[in-house]
Amino acid sequence: MKRLAIILLLLLPASCSGKHFQPWSGQDVVLQTAVTVTSAVDWGQTRDAAEQPDVYYESNPVIGGHPSTEEVDIYSVSSIALKALVTWFLDPEYRPWWQSFCIGISASNIMINNGNGLRINF
């Protein structure tokens, strides 16, 4: 997880505008809400998998094949916060692209997890 954070932090300045930070538009808020909701659903499903290590294997190499629920919680909260931070620093022109990418990844994970029988477990 440290590598991912370092990579994103190194890439962040390249994507930031040289201008002052610009406030979020209504679209930014709606999309970021979707990013957070889909990430939270994926988090809950990953917690369900973590509580059944004899049945499920986590495919995310950052947290490993059989993370504890505590490791899942730390990763997921950090991921949600990092996604919001990246969105905040991005030039408004690029925010929807980033947010749509994040939503797509989480939505894909949700569908795969649901197909594998995982439920949201908090």
Residue 66, domain extent:
23-115
pLDDT at 21: 73
Cα 112 from Cα 122, distance rounded (Å): 19
Query: Would you say residue 38 lies in a domain?
Result: yes
Enter the pTM of the model.
Answer: 0.83
Query: Would you say residue 4 lies in a domain?
Result: no
Query: Would you say residue 3 lies in a domain?
Result: no
Find, among 50, 25, 35, the residue nearest to 120 by Cα.
50
pLDDT in tens, the chain (122 residues): 556 556 655 665 555 555 567 899 999 999 999 999 999 999 999 999 999 999 999 999 999 999 999 999 999 999 999 999 999 999 999 999 999 999 999 999 999 999 999 999 99
Q: How many domains does the chain have?
A: 1
Query: Would you say residue 6 lies in a domain?
Result: no
Query: Would you say residue 29 lies in a domain?
Result: yes
pLDDT at 117: 96
Cα 50 from Cα 46, distance rounded (Å): 6
pLDDT at 63: 94
Query: Would you say residue 12 lies in a domain?
Result: no
Query: Would you say residue 37 lies in a domain?
Result: yes
